[in-house]
Structure 1
Amino acid sequence: MPIRVKSRRPVSQGDRGVSPHWVHYDSELPDISHDDTFREVVKKLSIYIADVVYLPSTFEQLRTTVAGDCLRTLVDHISAKVTNPAIVNALLALRWHYGTASDDKGTGEARANACEIVAWRFLTRLSEREAVEFCLYEIPEPNDGMNGNRDDLEAHPEQCESDESTALLGSPSIPPMDERADCHRTGTQKRSQLLQSLSKLTMSMYADSDDEVDENDPTAPFINLNALEIAAIADAKRFLSQHVVQKIITGIWSGEIMFWDRLSVHSEKKPRFYNAHTADPFSRLRVPKYLKAYEVMFFGTFLFLYYAVLIEQNRYAITPLEILLYIWFAAFFYDEVSEYIDAGSIFYAADVWNLFDMIMIAIGIVFAAMRFVGLYSEDYTLVDIAFDVLSLEALFMVPRICSILSLSPYWGTLIPCLKEMGKDFVKFMVLVVILYLGFLTTFSLVGRETFTFPHMAMIVTKIFFGSSYVGFDIMEDIDPIFGPPLMLIFVTLSSILLMGSLTGMLSNSFSRVISHAREEYLYVYSVYVLEASTSNRLTHFYPPFNLLALVIFRPLRLFLPSNDKFRRARIILLKATHAPVVGAIKLYELITSKWAPNDGFDTFRGPRRGTMKGNSMHPPAVGSRRPDIPSARPRSQDVIQKPSSTPARSQVTEDDATDAPSNVEVRISELSNKIDRLTALVTSMQSGAGTETVRS
């Protein structure tokens, strides 16, 4: 029988004999079974969310006031009754739909917030490993059912991967062999498809049967996406900043959770807990932490070659160091193109450092073109200009090397603030330019006999940057009659009104953004981790080794079909070129494992020698619905299991806070409890002493 929940709506004018503000009605909680498809889960949830969230409400109102009572009821219901593995995916997909749908009443944003709240509250009811299972569950193809079998991938593992252009967060389902061109869809195309698909789905959510819905599955663009990828698409920044979600993302960052455990022709992409004794050492090349470390070393070498070429600056011939610089430029350019195709424009633009990369590539192309043309035509003036253009590269290359600081909480929090302040500054400068063009035109025409237009433009610019005395010195030279009053107005407008307004606006922008800067930082960090780890590529070549794959395999692909031999050849080349990198990674892990601190991610780690009794791992988390994986299991069993149909849940207190309590807060709480117990003990002793006094 369907479960009903009491909700409240405002009373209409036609209601009589009821409360003057609210009237009760019954809403059916979604009846979601374990075998329901993703499309059915989205449809049932959308009916309930649209029914109970009907007024504009802020995120905090839904989280803390009675406006969110129905959401708490829904969380209780799905925690106790629902075991469908796609429940979190469906909630975040609806969050994306309601957040992008145009709604003048403001209910769309309220419903989007409601879906996000329900999604992360549901995760707080689970153990850590169960949260990993739900967050990394990928929507299977419709014909695969909810078990997500990948028979086609096992039969044709080269599909999409062999093209080396598979979209990451915007990848559709694995296509048949004659439709591999679909793998080239970008994130922007995916976002447009998601909007159209979810709109068709929720518009028909009250249909009695699936026959009334469009014959094409409107949820097809979500196939092969996990909940974290959908959250990134949906801009669910509060969800991604939750402590339980960040533990998963940090586990992926450090390589404790991985998607490829071995490099072979028939490897399958699945989320797994890392097992050092069974995993292929070359699978560590996909760990985001090591990718970032290698990126810093690559840019360090890039900067060394850059300085060497500029210091040598041979005008008449191309030196070996310059050839190496061109190779680094080409490898960098090809790596950026591959990253853009993988991630799509939306996620590529989410990282502010990618803007630096594009500018660096543009400067390199201009330098190379001017250098070659100048040498070919023996125009050494053009060659000198080319080196001057190359000198601009340092403005972006030096900060790019230091981009690793953006992954730290302090520096990563400042970057979103500076980004938003820059946007506001550009908007404000539009007004400044309009006003300055008017005054510049007037001053140029009035003082045309004394000052040229470029000279006057420079004077106006100096006044804007604070040199007000320049205007007072020349105001009579411009014109004895109109010059002084116009200059007085202009200086007052520039120094007091415009600069004061700009300072106040930027200060307000900083204060506004800094309160949400942590969410912005964690969002960018999460997107980077997902981009670096969940790609459908099996073989990922580091630059400059990617040029070898480009030179060797791209021409062959024009003549040879993608097959097992082709994929095996790529794997052999990867192992041959990246063996030193893998050796350095294993040495680092061997050294750090001896004194690795307890960082709170022990529950995400695979079996470890010395931490088990017999063949079993440490005891499972409280409320876990399955026994932990024994260390002697074969490699295929290290895969993170799909959420089972057992309805048991860990009884974890719901955490409404965005951040987990810090160590100081935990210690304060412990001290408060001890003080309370001590106070109670003293009170009982005093009452006992008073009783003895009365008796005596």
Structure 2
Amino acid sequence: MMVPTSTMDPEVQLRLPLDVPAEQDLLNQPVFPLIHAIKKDVEERIDASLSWDQLNAVDVNYSIFRPLVFKYAKLRNYAIVYACLVVRTHFIESASQDLAFAPLKLTRADACELLALKLLRRFTGNSDNPVDLFSVLTVSWDPLQGCPDSCMSDIREITGEDIRNADRVSALEIAISSEAKRFIASPLVQTCITDIYNGRVVFSAPATRGSILADNYKQRHVQVYDVHNTPWLDHYRLRVPRYRGIMEFVDFAILLFLFVLCLHNKSFSTMNWSEIVFIIFAFGFLLDELTAALEHGWDIYIQNMWNGFDLAFATIFIVYLGCRCRGLVKDDFWWNDLAYDILACGACILFPRLAFFAIKNNLIILALQGMIAEFFVFIMLAAVCFSGLLFTLWTLSRGSATWNLRKIAWLMTQVWFGNTFLSFTVAESFHPIFGPILMVMFAALSNTLLITIMISILSNTFARINEHASEEYLYQFAISTIEGVKSDALFSYQPPFNILALLFLYPLSTCLSPRQLHTANVFLIRITSFPQLIVIGVYERCFAPGSRFIATTKAAGSSMFDSVSRQFRLFESFMGTSRDDVMGAIFEIDVPPSVTNAFSTEDDREPGMEDSAEFGKAQEPDETRQGRPEIVLSPTPRRSRSRTSRTYREEQPPNSPLARLFGTVRQRAISAQGDALGDIRKIGEAMENLKEAAMPGDKLRQEIKELSERQARIETLLLTLTRGMRGEGNGSGSSARG
């Protein structure tokens, strides 16, 4: 129900949604039946393991995907892309459980991703409303929407819960969690993600059940942001991922400064002011990371490689705080010293984390996550393999005062990383016979074979990521962007003010109405983030691209440059001329057809190379017959064969997409038919001349017989070609009607 303009909240009036379907219409669109319909169609049509390139082949596209696109595009269901990606997630999960059919299920998962991409192009490409793209990708859907009661009871039995509504998730979040990197890297999806990142498009996802402090009072549809119709203290701009990234960089810089200051001013007996400020700021950092993880789920959170660094520092800080509290309570110097030593290890995380903000788009940084994962997996496998050797050496040296389990493990680690001579000098101390043999074998394996294997694995990982570097970067970019669009009220606060908001607003959320809680939340955000909001407002109104100040400055500078260049002609020799502008302008005007066709003739067109404006348009023939098409032959022998084939081509235009695509092959058959007709006419004339001459003899009869056989073969060939072309035309017509 629409609220009258006169009584509408002024904050809502500033952002009226564009032509987006009403929320009630979106709730009435079926999602559950759509998911199972797509799953059924994909399982019936994909029954072989295919690669991504094979799925994109022309024959597979026309036989499998094109009918599905036509079928589901007619529904005009905004949840169609979401449903395809949900089915993709199902096939990926089932592939890990059914290893025998894993390649087939992964192919079906790729088919769902490709179908989602084609439906997105079809759904938004034929729409006059550009907001359809953002609605399809950002509207959150309930997978149980439209589920019948019989199926709902079965779902309750499986889950063991009385579920009426599941968590609402958008298509973009499903694409990220299922790692649909090709879908995310497509231009349409990147257009949406880039506009969200820069703040040109504003939307807010509803807070999930995992949100710490939900503020769902004013849920807005997809909207285009207009800076001139918004207040200066627009608290929604704090959630723009671009500004959020800058503020995160400042927060990390402050955290690093407080970290260094805390370690510099160590106090073993009490906590000084620098340590207290660092602990408060670090708690705000931990709360911000916890909010980000609970809002969109841990599966999306861990996909971002930078969140791994944040989790590592959070773990170090929690261990430091536990040791520090124990040392202060018991007044134990050893625990206090251990706490500072543990905290010092956090420098290995904070310093590179801050540096990666400046070079996060580098290929080496993108490959670092995969290479580190492969390295640790390989190290763990090697440790398991050599654990048997560790136990053997410990058994052989039992009873010796020199070696214990810890010293043997440290010796093996040194040998593993290059100190091979140590294994030769102490080998006999384990056993005079088996000691040297075992240590030589271990040194050879660790320094030659295993190191070579590890280098090969890391090289292959880097090459694989390098091959898909653009997709990987766009995937990480999508994760960081979607993480910035949250409805949790704590996300709008900068550390450590989010702790204040949690302590102040969380108790009030139990006793205030949603409107009152929203009012208190907005007031507290504007108080704690007043400097940031002022800076953002000044930038967007005066210095952002497209702002009035920038446009006015450019216009004034351009007019001044034009006046100076007209007065001083030598100025252009230094500053350059405007020929680039002229070259760009000649392609922006509408050129009449008489100009574009000035140098073209009718004979310039080759078979199968029709004009794009006339491509696929059927031309009416002058005369038509039932059955075999009429072929007009000129009585003059000078008529060109190419002209004969061109006449036939004009009477039989291509009548299906495949026929137009493979028009060159058809024109070759038509040209061969014209050549055969010319040969028949010449043979007929030669036979008439021979009959008139009435030359006697066996030689003449033999020549006539050979000519007759040749004529019969040519007529048979001509009849076969004609029937084949007639069958192709009928097949193309039926496929077009289907």
> TM-score when scaled to structure 2?
0.61
Q: Larger helix proportion, structure 1 or 2?
A: 2
Give, in whole Å, the separation in 2 of the partners of 1:91 and 1:519: 20
Q: Give yes or no for the alignment of 1:110 onto 2:107.
A: yes
* 8 A Cα contact 1:258 1:271, kept in partner: yes
* 8 A Cα contact 2:69 2:115, kept in partner: no
Name the aligned partner's letter for residue 537 of structure 2. K
Task: Identify if the C-alpha distance between structure 1 residues 407 and 578 changes in structure 2 by more than 3 Å, giving closer, same or farther.
Answer: same
The number of aligned residues is 512
> Alpha-carbon deviation of 1:139?
9.2
Give, in whole Å, the separation in 2 of the partners of 1:377 and 1:272: 58
Name the aligned partner's letter for residue 54 of structure 1. D
* 8 A Cα contact 1:269 1:536, kept in partner: no
Q: Which residue of 1 aligns with 2:492?
A: 540
Q: Which residue of 2 aligns with 1:497?
A: 449
Write the deviation string for residues 137-177 of structure 1: whole angstroms up to 9, x where unpaired.
3798xxxxxxxxxxxxxxxxxxxxxxxxxxxx8xx86xxxx
Name the aligned partner's letter for residue 572 of structure 1. F
Match of 1:267 among 188, 210, 218: 218
Task: Identify if the C-alpha distance between structure 1 residues 264 and 333 changes in structure 2 by more than 3 Å, giving closer, same or farther.
Answer: closer
Q: Give yes or no for the alignment of 1:422 onto 2:354.
A: no
Give, in whole Å, the separation in 2 of the partners of 1:292 and 1:132: 25
Match of 2:48 among 55, 66, 75: 55
Q: Give yes or no for the alignment of 1:487 onto 2:484.
A: no
Counterpart of 1:137 in 2: which secondary structure? Answer: helix
Cα RMSD for the two superposed structures: 4.0
Q: Which residue of 2 aligns with 1:396?
A: 349
Q: How does 1:76-115 map to 2 (within 5 A)?
A: 77=70, 81-102=74-95, 103=98, 104-105=100-101, 106-115=103-112
Counterpart of 1:74 in 2: which secondary structure? Answer: helix
Q: How does 1:267-306 map to 2 (within 5 A)?
A: 267-280=218-231, 281-306=234-259
Name the aligned partner's letter for residue 114 of structure 2. I
Q: Give yes or no for the alignment of 1:377 onto 2:376.
A: no
Give, in whole Å, the separation in 1 of the partners of 2:385 and 2:249: 40
* 8 A Cα contact 2:84 2:116, kept in partner: yes
Match of 1:552 among 498, 504, 510: 504
Q: Which residue of 2 aligns with 1:230?
A: 174
Match of 1:239 among 164, 175, 183: 183
Give, in whole Å, the separation in 1 of the partners of 2:480 and 2:265: 37
> TM-score when scaled to structure 1?
0.65
Counterpart of 2:56 in 1: which secondary structure? Answer: helix
Task: Identify if the C-alpha distance between structure 1 residues 455 and 356 changes in structure 2 by more than 3 Å, giving closer, same or farther.
Answer: same
Q: Which residue of 1 aligns with 2:60?
A: 67
Counterpart of 1:113 in 2: which secondary structure? Answer: helix
Write the deviation string for residues 119-146 of structure 1: whole angstroms up to 9, x where unpaired.
2123334449857524533798xxxxxx
Structure 1: any 5+ residue segments left out of the alignment? Answer: 1-32, 141-168, 174-193, 202-209, 597-605, 611-666, 671-676, 686-696
Q: Which residue of 2 aligns with 1:413?
A: 366
> Alpha-carbon deviation of 1:249?
0.8
* 8 A Cα contact 1:88 1:119, kept in partner: yes
Name the aligned partner's letter for residue 137 of structure 1. V
Quick check: 338-347 or 373-382, which moved more? 373-382
Q: Give yes or no for the alignment of 1:579 onto 2:576.
A: no
* 8 A Cα contact 1:260 1:538, kept in partner: no
Task: Identify if the C-alpha distance between structure 1 residues 415 and 554 changes in structure 2 by more than 3 Å, giving closer, same or farther.
Answer: same
Match of 2:120 among 117, 120, 123: 123
* 8 A Cα contact 2:29 2:77, kept in partner: yes
Give, in whole Å, the separation in 2 of the partners of 1:79 and 1:44: 10
> Alpha-carbon deviation of 1:316?
3.2
Write the deviation string for residues 59-105 of structure 1: whole angstroms up to 9, x where unpaired.
22111253343344136515874432222222222222222224533
Counterpart of 2:484 in 1: which secondary structure? Answer: helix
Q: Give yes or no for the alignment of 1:46 onto 2:39.
A: yes
Q: How does 1:168-187 map to 2 (within 5 A)?
A: none
Structure 2: any 5+ residue segments left out of the alignment? Answer: 1-25, 157-162, 206-213, 553-583, 588-595, 605-738
> Alpha-carbon deviation of 1:307?
1.0
Task: Identify if the C-alpha distance between structure 1 residues 408 and 494 changes in structure 2 by more than 3 Å, giving closer, same or farther.
Answer: closer
Task: Identify if the C-alpha distance between structure 1 residues 129 and 360 changes in structure 2 by more than 3 Å, giving closer, same or farther.
Answer: farther
> Alpha-carbon deviation of 1:431?
4.0
Task: Identify if the C-alpha distance between structure 1 residues 538 and 124 changes in structure 2 by more than 3 Å, giving closer, same or farther.
Answer: farther
* 8 A Cα contact 1:305 1:325, kept in partner: yes
Q: How does 1:358-369 map to 2 (within 5 A)?
A: 358-369=311-322
Name the aligned partner's letter for residue 349 of structure 1. I
Counterpart of 1:84 in 2: which secondary structure? Answer: coil
Q: Which residue of 1 aligns with 2:197?
A: 253
Write the deviation string for residues 249-291 of structure 1: whole angstroms up to 9, x where unpaired.
1111111111159x99952232111111223422211101111
Q: Which residue of 1 aligns with 2:579?
A: none
Task: Identify if the C-alpha distance between structure 1 residues 76 and 392 changes in structure 2 by more than 3 Å, giving closer, same or farther.
Answer: closer
Write the deviation string for residues 170-229 of structure 1: whole angstroms up to 9, x where unpaired.
xx86xxxxxxxxxxxxxxxxxxxx7xx79x98xxxxxxxx67644588997676433212
Q: How does 1:336-351 map to 2 (within 5 A)?
A: 336-351=289-304
Match of 1:570 among 517, 521, 527: 521
Give, in whole Å, the separation in 2 of the partners of 1:457 and 1:34: 62
Give, in whole Å, the separation in 2 of the partners of 1:253 and 1:354: 19
Task: Identify if the C-alpha distance between structure 1 residues 461 and 214 changes in structure 2 by more than 3 Å, giving closer, same or farther.
Answer: closer
Give, in whole Å, the separation in 1 of the partners of 2:333 and 2:384: 43
Give, in whole Å, the separation in 2 of the partners of 1:267 and 1:557: 16
> Alpha-carbon deviation of 1:546?
0.7
Counterpart of 1:253 in 2: which secondary structure? Answer: helix
Write the deviation string for residues 574-607 of structure 1: whole angstroms up to 9, x where unpaired.
11111111112223334542589xxxxxxxxx9x
* 8 A Cα contact 2:316 2:345, kept in partner: yes
> Alpha-carbon deviation of 1:570?
1.4
* 8 A Cα contact 1:260 1:269, kept in partner: yes
Give, in whole Å, the separation in 1 of the partners of 2:311 and 2:523: 32
* 8 A Cα contact 1:416 1:513, kept in partner: no
Give, in whole Å, the separation in 2 of the partners of 1:424 and 1:66: 41
Give, in whole Å, the separation in 1 of the partners of 2:490 and 2:400: 68
Write the deviation string for residues 606-629 of structure 1: whole angstroms up to 9, x where unpaired.
9x999xxxxxxxxxxxxxxxxxxx
Match of 1:355 among 308, 311, 336: 308
Name the aligned partner's letter for residue 275 of structure 2. E
* 8 A Cα contact 1:52 1:70, kept in partner: no
Name the aligned partner's letter for residue 297 of structure 1. V
Give, in whole Å, the separation in 2 of the partners of 1:307 and 1:470: 39
Give, in whole Å, the separation in 1 of the partners of 2:409 and 2:246: 47
Counterpart of 2:221 in 1: which secondary structure? Answer: coil
Give, in whole Å, the separation in 2 of the partners of 1:434 and 1:264: 54
Q: How does 1:295-694 map to 2 (within 5 A)?
A: 295-405=248-358, 407-408=360-361, 410-441=363-394, 444-445=397-398, 448=400, 451-535=403-487, 537=489, 540-558=492-510, 560-593=511-544
Q: Which residue of 2 aligns with 1:649?
A: none
Identity value in percent: 27
